Amino acid sequence: MKKIAIFASGNGSNAQNISDYFAGNENIKIALILSNYKDAYVLKRAKKLKIPAVYFDRKDFYLSENVLNKLQSFQIDFIVLAGFLWFIPQILIQHFPNRIINIHPALLPKHGGKGMYGMKVHESVKESGDTESGITIHYVNDKYDEGEIIFQAKVKVDPNDSPEDIANKIHKLEYEYFPKVIEGLL
């Protein structure tokens, strides 16, 4: 049995989708959901899904081994970042080499890096005049959005698409492909 921890900072729709996908799977289990915002809706989702959930602050994440200890206590094999906005500390990268992945809502290396998340990415795609966007699933390393690319899926961007339209197209790709890529990696 492979145990996954999902890190999310907000609503948690990807965490929900991944959890639903693996519900009843005998080989892969969502064992823990973690968030850096105590009021994040993802923590409520975790409760409804009956998945243990943990809130942590900056001190827990960057100045102690509290988060690492929690992951080890749950015997986590793999970490999935699903809308998680903080930079991953070196201690986690060292303890989970090539076992931390992230999903980015654009075709990296374009529209990535520090501060590029959520609607900011879709606004950047729109402003650039790109005719396509998509998702990038990649390993996490010590630089924002620069880990080895595992998978990309594309969608057409029409000239009259708003950033919100682009976001809706991207969400569909995320929901379709993220769980399948995770399953393939495990």
Question: Residue 123's closest CA among 138, 149, 105?
Answer: 105
Pairing of strands 28-35, 53-55: parallel
Of residues 104, 111, 122, 138, which has the active-site annotation?
A: 104
* 122 is an active site residue: no
Question: Residue 57's closest CA among 80, 36, 73?
Answer: 36
Phi, psi of 109 (to 5 degrees): -85, 0
Question: Residue 41's closest CA among 80, 7, 9?
Answer: 9
**Residue positions annotated with a catalytic role:** 104
